[in-house]
């Protein structure tokens, strides 16, 4: 009896999601950016603890290191934790979290522009910032607002 009820009202299938992605290019772009801006900050954030891709403290401008009351590696631990949280936030609610990621990328760009030799990385991060803002705009259409119901209630 229960299995019959479950079969007659199945959850949205992979085919339905695939059809939506194929038939709505903007939704496909939203989904691709959402996945990318969730997975990549998680990956980069975790690597701040491991230093496998690169030695991350080298990317911290010396003037920032001089201001810190702790080591550059400890700063990278903080950065990594923030990036992991940002990745999860984009996965959960890209409508809001993508603006946070864009602001975070702006901070990284400022750091890199004040440290000679990393202008190419700053330019790459500017492209990522544009992608995060694009995700935010698409999320305004495809990710429902948390405040939709309260706004409607206030209008009455």
Q: Is the pLDDT of residue 115 over 90?
A: no
Q: Is the pLDDT of residue 81 over 90?
A: yes
C-alpha to C-alpha distance for 82 and 85, rounded to whole angstroms: 5
Alpha carbon of residue 87 to chain centroid: 5
Stretch 88-117: mean pLDDT: 95
C-alpha to C-alpha distance for 94 and 104, rounded to whole angstroms: 14
- Helix-helix angle 25-50:119-142, to 10 degrees: 130
Cβ atoms within 10 Å, residue 40: 16
- pLDDT number for residue 66: 94
Q: Which of 47-51, 113-117, 131-135 has the lowest mean pLDDT?
A: 113-117
Torsion sign over Cα 15, 148, 92, 60 = positive
As a whole-number percent, the residues of the chain with pLDDT over 90 amount to 72
Q: Which of 5-9, 17-21, 38-42, 112-116 has the lowest mean pLDDT?
A: 5-9
C-alpha to C-alpha distance for 142 and 72, rounded to whole angstroms: 39
Tell which wins on pLDDT, 15 or 138.
138
Cβ atoms within 10 Å, residue 102: 19
Alpha helices in 93-147, H assignment, sequence order: 94-113, 119-142
**pLDDT, tens digit, for every residue of 30-40?**
999 999 999 99
The residue extents of the domains of the chain are: 20-143
- pLDDT number for residue 1: 46
Phi, psi of 28 (to 5 degrees): -60, -40
pLDDT band at 154 (very low <50, low <70, confident <90, very high): low
pLDDT band at 143 (very low <50, low <70, confident <90, very high): confident
Alpha carbon of residue 12 to chain centroid: 25
Q: Is the pLDDT of residue 47 over 80?
A: yes
Phi, psi of 68 (to 5 degrees): -75, 145
């Amino acid at each position: 009896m229960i299995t019959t009820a479950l079969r007659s009202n199945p959850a949205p299938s992979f085919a339905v999601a695939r059809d939506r992605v194929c038939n709505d290019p903007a939704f496909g772009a939203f989904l691709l950016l959402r996945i990318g801006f969730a997975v990549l900050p998680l990956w980069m954030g975790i690597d701040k603890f491991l230093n496998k891709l690169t030695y991350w403290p080298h990317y911290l401008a010396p003037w920032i290191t001089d201001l810190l009351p702790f080591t550059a590696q400890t700063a990278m631990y903080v950065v990594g934790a923030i990036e992991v949280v940002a990745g999860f936030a984009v996965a959960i609610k890209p409508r809001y979290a993508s603006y946070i990621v864009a602001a975070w990328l702006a901070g990284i760009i400022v750091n890199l522009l004040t440290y000679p030799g990393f202008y190419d990385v700053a330019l790459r991060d500017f492209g990522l910032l544009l992608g995060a803002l694009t995700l935010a705009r698409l999320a305004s259409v495809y990710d429902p607002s948390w405040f939709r119901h309260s706004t409607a209630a206030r209008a009455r």
